Amino acid sequence: MKQATLSLDPAFAIGPIDPRVRGSFVEHLGRCVYGGIYEPDHPDADPDGFRTDVLDLTRELGVTTVRYPGGNFVSGYTWEDAIGPKDKRPRRLDLAWKTIETNAVGVDEFAAWCRKAGVEPMMAVNLGTRGVDAATALVEYCNHPSGSYWSDLRVSHGAKDPHNIKVWCLGNEMDGPWQIAHKNARDYGILAQQTAHAMRLVDPDLELVACGSSSRRMPTFGSWEAEVLEHTYGVVDYVSLHSYYRPKDGDFASFLASGVDMDAMIESVIATCDYVKAKVRSKKTINLSYDEWNVWYHERGDEREWVEAPALYQDEYSLADAVVVGSLLNSLLRRADRVSMACFAQLVNVIAPITTENGGPAWRQSTFYPMKYAFSYGVGHTLRVEPSGPVVETAEYGAVPQLDCTATLDGETGDVAIFAVNRSLTEPLGVVADVRALGSGSADSGVRPVAHVALHGPDRDATNTRDNARVVPQELPVPVVDGGELRVELPPMSWNMIRLSTPAA
């Protein structure tokens, strides 16, 4: 069996992990809102119409932050349609997804859902068809205590306390020609700068995200970030990144290496942010908000009638998809020093780890599990692990390391979690980790193995359905730590979490 090696040392901490990397996304798209988080006629709905089974699964997943209301949807959205008495709210054509929007859920309902789910809202403003005025009014409605037109309107709608939404996205994917009122980098940069400036006049404590690129494959990738940041550097805190992956033409070797693309996008955007920092002579560092990421199979298409909440993009995720999602989580944790926020897209029904039936049950897709484990145990600081070992040949990325690995150390408990993906479709992989520095530094270092949990199996296409959960984490034999070395075997095409207890607290 081939073997990879790495070292774990608390002295090589990359950075503290911001809890907001454990984020998700709820968009008015398909059945994410209606039939997903909200279904007043469902037997498990609470008095506000929210599905309690989805709330329970959201809490189980360990999500901290949820982005809302879009996505492409936000670029044509009139948020004022969805406040106040529900029977007065207009039905609108949502042009982004060719859907009838009833507006039964708006910002007040979403803020209430967030409180129940125990998550922080992350709000996007419409910089497609709208601009400064609508954005500042929304901030006033959400965050101003009272005594002004919009804040008093919120109070009159039953929300006495402000929603206090801290993180705001300045539009969505404005680099994309599919976006309603898509703009070039200069026009978007100027509008984002003006909007950010005005939003901060309403609430100086906001944290603002400028739109970056919709993917690394966009022809404007790089130049878009540079030009937008040259306009906005002084008024924003983060720039966004989006990526979706799928196997192309059955090329699973490249698909399993999708994290290589995500790593490259992260490194490029960090470099661009720092280039602009130098150019505008700023002391401030712009960090990254990877606020849409996932595996996504479906192609976009509009050939349907205008209906409410159509079943769009309800991907059924496989074992291979879950392994890739685990690898993408490694990429996000790997640059904990610069990736401050991340949202897997989306939370429920639409390319999601949670699936529901209208009037029926909710269940966990395969991709639920790497997120749940990374969110529970990938806390504290990321450690630089510097693995070396065999490579796998891929058509898309060339030779890539067979082992994709990151590790975290919880400084309060001394608990270490190693997240490891074996990218070979057919071969197991041995891993030897030098763990002496986590303990006393000697061979009997006080480091104890706790668990090895893995997603693996003979059928890479296995999925979870309503009645049959075929992809669930398996407990493997607890690995051995001997002579200051951890030795563990990773099954072919697998996602793994190995936990250690250490005296490093």
Q: Which residues are catalytic?
A: 173, 292
Q: Which is nearer to ligand AHR, 71 or 473 (CB)?
A: 71
Distance (Å, rounded) from C-alpha 80 to C-alpha 456? 47
Backbone angles phi, psi at 14, to 5 degrees: -80, -40
In the window 104-143, what residues touch ligand AHR (CB under 6 A)?
none
CB of 128 to ligand AHR, least distance (A): 11
CB of 321 to ligand AHR, least distance (A): 16
The residue whose two tokens read 């490249």 is 254
27 lines the binding site for ligand AHR (CB under 6 A): yes
Q: Which stretch binds ligand AHR (CB under 6 A): 65-73, 321-329, 335-343, 373-381?
A: 65-73
* Of positions 7, 24, 102, 172, contacts ligand AHR by CB under 6 A: 172
CB 19 within 8 A of CB 64: yes
In the window 139-168, what residues touch ligand AHR (CB under 6 A)?
none
In the window 418-437, what residues touch ligand AHR (CB under 6 A)?
none
71 lines the binding site for ligand AHR (CB under 6 A): yes
Q: Which is nearer to ligand AHR, 354 or 498 (CB)?
A: 354
* Helices 132-143 and 107-117, axial angle in degrees (round to 10): 50
Site string for ligand AHR, 263-302 (x = CB under 6 A): -----------------------------x----------
| DSSP state at residue 237 | S
Site string for ligand AHR, 203-222 (x = CB under 6 A): -----------x--------
CB of 179 to ligand AHR, least distance (A): 8
346 lines the binding site for ligand AHR (CB under 6 A): yes
Residue nearest to ligand AHR (CB): 71
* Of positions 7, 24, 58, 72, contacts ligand AHR by CB under 6 A: 72
CA atoms within 13 A on the CB side of 203: 23
Q: Which amino acid is at 398?
A: G
* Backbone CA torsion sign across 493, 499, 502, 505: positive
Q: Which stretch binds ligand AHR (CB under 6 A): 68-76, 117-125, 443-451, 477-485?
A: 68-76
Tell me the site size for ligand AHR, rule CB under 6 A: 11
Q: Which is nearer to ligand AHR, 35 or 71 (CB)?
A: 71
345 lines the binding site for ligand AHR (CB under 6 A): yes
Distance (Å, rounded) from C-alpha 473 to C-alpha 369? 7
Q: Which is nearer to ligand AHR, 106 or 449 (CB)?
A: 106
Pairing of strands 485-490, 403-409: unpaired
* Backbone CA torsion sign across 362, 367, 373, 378: negative
320-339 exposure pattern, b = at least 16 Cβ within 10 A, e = fewer: bbbbbbbbbbbbbbbbbbbb
Q: Find residue 464's DSSP bridge partners.
A: 469
Q: Find residue 243's DSSP bridge partners.
A: 293
CB of 367 to ligand AHR, least distance (A): 14
| DSSP state at residue 34 | B
Q: Which residues contact 394 (CB under 8 A, 6 or more apart)?
A: 251, 253, 254, 256, 257, 400
CB of 147 to ligand AHR, least distance (A): 36
CB of 478 to ligand AHR, least distance (A): 39
Cis ω before 222 (30° cut-off from 0):
no
CB of 29 to ligand AHR, least distance (A): 6
Q: Which stretch binds ligand AHR (CB under 6 A): 67-75, 105-113, 354-362, 409-417?
A: 67-75
196 lines the binding site for ligand AHR (CB under 6 A): no
Distance (Å, rounded) from C-alpha 433 to C-alpha 487? 7
Q: Which is nearer to ligand AHR, 294 or 494 (CB)?
A: 294
Q: Which is nearer to ligand AHR, 344 or 377 (CB)?
A: 344
Task: Write out the E strands in 246-356.
Answer: 287-295, 339-345, 354-356
Work out the burial of residue 461: count CB atoms within 10 Å of its CB; fewer than 13 is exposed, 13-18 middle, 19 or more buried. Answer: exposed
* Of positions 39, 94, 173, 489, contacts ligand AHR by CB under 6 A: 173
Q: Which stretch binds ligand AHR (CB under 6 A): 50-58, 64-72, 112-120, 360-368?
A: 64-72
| DSSP state at residue 314 | -
Q: Find residue 429's DSSP bridge partners.
A: 490
CB of 215 to ligand AHR, least distance (A): 9
Q: Which residues contact 177 (CB under 8 A, 6 or more apart)?
A: none
CB of 216 to ligand AHR, least distance (A): 14
Q: Which is nearer to ligand AHR, 209 or 453 (CB)?
A: 209
Q: Find residue 409's DSSP bridge partners.
A: 381, 416
Distance (Å, rounded) from C-alpha 141 to C-alpha 107? 10
Nearest one of 202, 231, 198, 201 to 211, comparing CA atoms? 231
Q: Which residues in this chain contact ligand AHR in the complex, by CB under 6 A?
A: 27, 29, 70-72, 172-173, 214, 292, 345-346
